[in-house]
Chains A and B, each alone.
Chain A
Amino acid sequence: MLEGAERRTLILDAARDVVCERGVDAARMADIAERAGVSLGLVQHYFRHRDRLLAEVFRLESERITVRWRNLVDPDADPLTRLFEYLRLVAREGTDPSVRSFRLTWSLWLEFWSKANRDAGVREEVATIYREFSAPFSDAIAEGIERGAFAPRSAVPDVVDRLVSLIDGLAIRTLLGGMDSRRMLSLLVDCLCLELGVADEEAKRLRQRL
């Protein structure tokens, strides 16, 4: 018998897969229960209603990303290397098997955006997730400035917001088939170097790792 927490996770994972396959509007509680191999009553017992279940799906996925970043990026590495590693994870160029495919991860975010389009509550949730997602970038950039390695022309929050916007825009193109993830990473690294005023030889060293 599965423990309660495991059953919850099982349902949340099933919900995530159904949302990715059919879209957030078409994902019904009954479909999710069927995918998880549990009764509809059990899904309702844990999550009461659909919106709450979906909110938890998004929350769990964003928590997993945060944990992955913590585990996969060396906190003692220099700031530029850390930023590069974050971008590599975003573009899914790594080979770590614990990293879900680019398409699955990003299709969930696109569904989330689409839901946020018409729901102020979801927009709040998205804003919170983006703040968490931005924090490692902000920390690394602030540390780099302190060490004299970066000389951005803009305030740190602006640099981070632009970088995050570029990540989103490039991910859309990659998902629609107009770009591959190598190209995505290369464009992100160029933007990073441009924004942070990274010295040429440092930038060159970074590009060699692409």
Chain B
Amino acid sequence: MRKKVEVRREEILAAAVGQVRERGLAATRVIDVARALGVSKALVHYHFDSKEKLLAATFAYAALRDLDSLAQAQSSGGTALERLWAVLDVYAPSGDASGWVLWIDGWAAALRDEHLRTVLRDLDHRWKDSIAAVIGDGVRSGEFSCADPDGATSRITAMLDGFAVEQVVRTGSSAQRSRAWVRSQVERELGLPRPPAAAPAGQPGD
């Protein structure tokens, strides 16, 4: 039975995300994606006429899924701080951080690929705007004390990317440790009081 074009496209993109994570961006071939789905190479080519177009669409697709989770976190309600944690939990590396493998490949590839660079830059702006909006809410309501919300947003998001690099490609430090660091960074940036000794054992020394 023939599948609808959009359904097929989405299946191909989901399979491509899996292949890129496993093999790396440069090593993923159209045939790998086709095999993972059990379809012909020609079918993949029918939907995406070059490997470059398939890969750029793959990143846009993965990004959209993340942005859906972001929208949910943003509308989750509660105080500005609660919403900020919800947004940062979507952004921050968690679990096995396998999602970040894709982005780390993407950053390198984007240096040579204008289209991918635009996709990644736009995505970064979307995240930054969302986090800035929540921080702005908290500053206006007096929940946060922050003289430079724009700088704080840039630092928080950039540091999260750096944690991902640390977790995935450097020493493989734990998601729990990264999360504790994000928290202490946010507390510093937003002038939040330090929570009383609620820290579980094994948290970093701060």
Contacts and interface: CB of A to CB of B under 8 A. Distances in A.
Interface stretch (B9-17, B35-43, B74-82, B107-115): B107-115
A95 interface: no
The residue among B101, B111, B184 with the most chain A CB atoms within 10 A of its own CB is B111
Contacts of A117: 24, 101, 104-105, 168-169
B24 A154 contact: no
Given A169-B161, A172-B161, A22 B171 contact: no
A140 to B, nearest CB: 19
B117 interface: yes
Interface in B149-166: 151, 154-155, 157-163, 165-166
Given A113-B108, A176-B124, A126 B204 contact: no
Interface string B179-193: 001001100110000
A55 to B, nearest CB: 15
Contact of A127 (B24, B27, B151, B171): B171
Given A114-B24, A117-B169, A169 B148 contact: no
B205 interface: yes
A170 B125 CA distance: 13
A166 interface: yes
A76 to B, nearest CB: 30
B88 interface: no
A93 interface: no
Interface residues of B, number: 46
A168 B110 contact: no
B101 A123 contact: no
A187 B189 CA distance: 12
Given A113-B108, A114-B105, A117-B101, A166 B206 contact: no
A155 B206 contact: yes
Taking chain B's interface residues, is the majority helix, strand, or loop, or is none over half, making it mixed? helix
Nearest to A21: B112
A168 B165 contact: yes
A164 B205 CA distance: 17
Contact of B120 (A24, A114, A170, A176): A176
A169 B159 contact: yes
Contacts of A158: 181, 204-206
B198 interface: no
Given A25-B26, A114-B26, A176-B120, 20 more contacts: A22-B112, A23-B108, A107-B108, A107-B111, A110-B107, A110-B111, A114-B24, A117-B169, A123-B169, A123-B170, A123-B171, A153-B188, A161-B181, A162-B181, A165-B165, A166-B159, A166-B162, A168-B165, A170-B162, A173-B124
9 interchain residue pairs of minimum CB distance: A165-B162, A169-B158, A154-B206, A25-B26, A155-B205, A169-B161, A169-B162, A168-B162, A116-B169
27 contacts: A25-B24, A26-B26, A114-B108, A117-B168, A118-B23, A123-B170, A123-B171, A123-B172, A154-B184, A155-B205, A162-B185, A166-B158, A167-B162, A168-B161, A168-B166, A169-B161, A172-B158, A173-B124, A173-B158, A175-B110, A176-B107, A176-B117, A176-B124, A178-B121, A179-B154, A187-B154, A190-B148
